[in-house]
Structure 1
Amino acid sequence: MKRTAKLALRNREALAAALDEFLPETGEVLELGSGTGEHAVFLAARFPGLTWQPSDPDAEARASICAWAKEARLPNLRPPLDLDLVTPAWRRRRADAVLCVNVLHVTPPACAAALCGGAAEVLPAGGPLCVYGPFSHRGAPLAGRLARFDAELRAHDPALGVREVEALAEEAARAGLRLEAELELPAVEGDRLLVFRRAG
């Protein structure tokens, strides 16, 4: 059954435009935590030279991805994989780029280290890890939408919440990835695209 996320419709154009600068022209993109599948379908259509590999550990999410993919009938969109950030299985794969959209704030902090460490194993030298979602800066108080959203997440589970750019950059550096770019996207207040590169 197809599922939908309102935010996916709001941010997909801005996200695609931002990714255009960093994704390779050809190769495979491994998307982790693909959720409803709407981003996977939209981005696969936007970047026809890339093979898009969605994944999600949730069976209902994978069913939604399959439903969207069946409707779109894109030759460069693969069936979703059952991959979990914190398990080692996905690290055995190879991809020319890794994408993670709106995942880290709704998963435990250990997922950030798992994402960076895994991406460093999956990517070739110079390959990009692109992470999109709500981020704050260390020492800067949360305000507006980010403050409300963070409070809602932590009320549900204290381990969840808006992550700091600096904390993710530190995890990435430990894994051999450097922060190349940080872009604020206009579609959703507080959302950023962070792009890391694997060292050569």
Structure 2
Amino acid sequence: MTLKLPDTGAEVLADGRRMVPSAARNAEPILRALQGLGLRGRLLEIASGSGLHAAHMAGPLGLLWQPTEVEPANFASILAWSATVEAAIEPPLLLDATEPGWAARLGVWDAILLVNLLHLIPERAAATLLAELGAALAPGGTACLYGPFLREGLATSPGDAAFDASLRAQDPAIGYKDLAWVTGQLGKAGLSCDILPMPANNLLLVVRHSHAPARV
């Protein structure tokens, strides 16, 4: 099923870049948050989408950036965005992060970034993704999960409630995940997280191995 989302039908420029409004809005706030975390080394971006985030963040963060996508149709936009900046951005890899075993295939990463995906996949798929994070994250590494979440089963604004209802109307298996459920799944994977408030009622979960000292 193809979901109807606020960015559905995003403009495609002549050079192949998709101009996704939500990514353009949240790229700078996410970058500012990541700059305060002391990230270094190799970053795996799960569900890179248009590639706008890689182009906006890889250079300023000084990371070797590995985009991934489950949809090969997005590769052209990722490559087009990468070509607009001088940054260490690798060609995109095909990855379905909701399938068990992907962490063993890709190895460990110093940093992992996931933006606006958990609410678009079923709970079982989200549980698999979160379980794999523990194996994919290097000792001392940091994973950052950005997006909207329910708190104690409730949306935090009328707009979030309407969007969540729209998603569930299209597919009852998807929709906003409760923050406590997500942190519980991370705990099962040996991970703990700090929670940073972000614009538009979103959160950034800063995830590390439970034995690692917090740096936020």
Q: What is the TM-score when the length of structure 1 is the normalising length?
A: 0.90
Residue number in structure 2 paired with 1:59: 72
**C-alpha separation in 2, matches of 1:147 and 1:97:** 31
Structure 1 gaps of 5+ residues are none
CA RMSD of aligned residues (A): 1.5
How big is the shift at 1:86? 2.0
Residue number in structure 1 paired with 2:21: 6
Q: Which of 85, 90, 94 is residue 97 of structure 2 equivalent to?
A: 85
AA partner of residue 96 (structure 2): D
The answer as to whether partners of 1:23 and 1:128 remain within 8 angstroms in 2 is no
Residue number in structure 1 paired with 2:207: 196
Alpha carbons of 1:141 and 1:97: their partners in 2 closer, same or farther (altered >3 Å)? closer
Residue number in structure 2 paired with 1:103: 117
Residue number in structure 1 paired with 2:127: 113
How big is the shift at 1:139? 4.0
Whether 2:171 is the aligned partner of 1:157: answer yes
How big is the shift at 1:90? 3.9
Q: Which has the higher contact order (CA 8 A, sep 6+)?
A: 1
Residue number in structure 1 paired with 2:34: 19
**C-alpha separation in 2, matches of 1:105 and 1:168:** 11
**C-alpha separation in 2, matches of 1:162 and 1:34:** 19
How big is the shift at 1:23? 4.4
The answer as to whether partners of 1:145 and 1:190 remain within 8 angstroms in 2 is no
The answer as to whether partners of 2:102 and 2:132 remain within 8 angstroms in 1 is no
How big is the shift at 1:140? 3.6
Query: For this pair of structures, how many residues does the alignment match?
Result: 194
The answer as to whether partners of 1:66 and 1:79 remain within 8 angstroms in 2 is yes
**C-alpha separation in 2, matches of 1:23 and 1:94:** 18
Structure 2 gaps of 5+ residues are 1-15, 212-216
The answer as to whether partners of 1:178 and 1:199 remain within 8 angstroms in 2 is yes
